[in-house]
Amino acid sequence: MSFAVEERGNPNSLNYRLFFKNAEGKYVSPFHDIPIFAEESQNIFHMVVEVPRWTNAKMEIATKDLLNPIKQDVKKGKLRYVANVFPHKGYIWNYGAIPQTWEDPAHKDKDTGCCGDNDPIDVCEIGRKVCSRGEVIKVKALGILAMIDEGETDWKVIAINVEDPEANDLNNISDVRRLKPGFLEATVDWFKMYKVPDGKPENSFAFNEEFKDKDFAIEVIKSTHNLWKDLVSQKTSAGELNCKNTCVSASDSPYCCSADEATAAVCETCSFGKEEPIPSSVDKWFYYEKK
């Protein structure tokens, strides 16, 4: 199963969007239409890459927009970039999400005691390749970290691209700890500190900052898939989320988006144009003494 992307607007601007197409050239939602499983029997999942490693732009699936394109997050009218908190430059993994998953803000997690963050479940892909924005890759879960972000459960799946040269050697979180010493500690440090330059407190974590193993991660992913199923079958309130899709819902469903409607939505956005400059402030480094 293959997917392509179509850029619209100007990169590094408020109007930039990245839309998805399937192999038949049909517009699809990366939130709803891309299957969660690449190989269900092997627990191999699809991952939508939102942010390539080493970059700073906080790109994300636009869950409230029709067709859920990738766009840059905005705060107070300005594009968001993650700060460089020494020694980390931008995102330290390929960062993205598993499609057809949802962390329900009305569902209290039995392990963390906090409700979900209203987004697909996040993935940190730790392979060698720097992926491209919008790339859809096949990953296997190795473990998971339970971040608590402003009182919400925000799971972070640690995964590796199945095509990575090290994929055969990395099968559980203990393998990451053994073969990539310091990487898990750096991951906790990154998530703990990345909002501090914006004046926010450090993030906290369930399980005393410990990573849970592969089996636990798969269980969490599948539970968020079940929550997504309830969402698109209208068993759960969608709130402001846009659940329209071109492949999943039946034609008589209010969530069904026709090919004409999807094409019209893309055409309403700006044509792809010149890239805007990234502000020089994005290159600033921040230094903090660990407590």
Domain positions in the chain: 3-286
pLDDT of residue 1: 81
pLDDT of residue 190: 98
DSSP for 193-260, please give it.
Answer: HTTGGGTPPPPEESGGGPPEEHHHHHHHHHHHHHHHHHHHTTSS--TT----BSSSS-TTSTTB--HH
Q: CA–CA separation, 179 vs 57, rounded Å?
A: 29
CATH number for the domain formed by residue range(s) 3-286? 3.90.80.10
**pLDDT tens, 37-93?**
999 999 999 999 999 999 999 999 999 999 999 999 999 999 999 999 999 999 999
How large is the C-alpha radius of gyration of the chain?
A: 18
- Only one residue has tokens 């949802």, namely 102
pLDDT of residue 50: 98
H helices present in 124-213, as ranges: 173-179, 183-193
Percent of the chain surpassing pLDDT 90: 99
φ/ψ (deg, to 5) at 224: -70, -25
The SS3 of residue 1 is coil
User: Could you say which residues of the chain have pLDDT below 70?
Assistant: 291
